[in-house]
Amino acid sequence: QLMVNPFSGALIDRIGYDMPMMVGLCIMFLSTAIFACGRSYGLLFFARSLQGVGSAFADTSGLAMIADRFTEENERSKALGIALAFISFGCLVAPPFGGALYQFAGKEVPFLILAFVSLMDGFMLLLVMKPLKTQIKESQIAKPPSVPIWKLFMDPYIAVCSGALMMSNVALAFLEPTISLWMEDNLTTENWKIGMIWL
């Protein structure tokens, strides 16, 4: 996701957000289906990498869609706040939900449910996305040259926001691979309890 995000942003800037979002959802559907069926380390590593690619397209496209549909600053701020609140809600609910399903229904069920959700999200996107002809016409319209990403990082506001987002995710990144193993060794082996710790 780290490597693909800059390229997905440039692609969305050229062709719009509808098709990249659909591509991202399809990739996420495929990756979660592989997670459900995968048994080897290599296959699971491939599925996780694929999930990062899909997330890079879907997440960036979603934020671009909000920025495009809500042109008034107040409306855009509210819409972005709601979208980020649901991202936080997903991060909050997913671990206990996944832990309970893993313990009581098996490894495959959580991922099959996520694959189904990605599929439904794709069908919902079909209802709101612009027709392909309209997207092609819009992509052919001359646009002002985009600002290189290194110049954006030179902006102090963007640099501060990027640093804050990075640090907020670093803490979670340290916890994710360690807290579960530590709890299994020292506290409990019940998966639903390990999932509940994230609440």
Q: Are residues 110 and 185 in the same domain?
A: no
Q: What is the count of structural domains for the chain?
A: 2
Q: Are residues 198 and 158 in the same domain?
A: yes
Q: Are residues 24 and 120 in the same domain?
A: yes
The mean pLDDT of 74-84, rounded to a whole number, is 82
Q: Are residues 135 and 185 in the same domain?
A: no
d(CA 199, CA 75) in angstroms, rounded, equals 30
pTM of the predicted structure, to 2 decimals: 0.70
Q: Are residues 62 and 160 in the same domain?
A: no
Q: Are residues 133 and 152 in the same domain?
A: no
Cβ neighbors of 159 (< 8 A, separation 6 or more) are: 153
The mean pLDDT of 165-181, rounded to a whole number, is 74
124: exposed, middle or buried (C-beta count within 10 Å: 0-12, 13-18, 19+)?
A: exposed
Percent of the chain with pLDDT over 90: 0
Q: Are residues 157 and 63 in the same domain?
A: no
pLDDT in the model for residue 130: 61
pLDDT in the model for residue 165: 74
Give the chain's mean pLDDT. 77
Q: Which amino acid is at 51?
A: Q
Task: Tell me: pLDDT of 83 over 80.
Answer: yes
Token pair 């963007």: residue:
158
Q: Are residues 91 and 173 in the same domain?
A: no
Q: Are residues 177 and 80 in the same domain?
A: no
6 touches 33 (CB < 8 A): no
Phi-psi group of 40: left, alpha or beta (phi > 0 → left; psi -120 to 50 → alpha; rest → beta): beta
**Which tens digits make up the pLDDT trace of 1-51?**
677 777 777 777 777 777 888 888 888 889 888 888 888 888 888 988 888
**Which tens digits make up the pLDDT trace of 101-138?**
887 887 788 888 888 888 888 888 888 766 555 555 55
Task: Tell me: pLDDT of 63 over 60.
Answer: yes
Q: Are residues 190 and 107 in the same domain?
A: no
Q: Which of 121, 140, 159 is the last residue of a domain?
A: 140
pLDDT in the model for residue 76: 81
Task: Please give the residue range of the domain that contains residue 24.
Answer: 5-140
pLDDT in the model for residue 140: 54
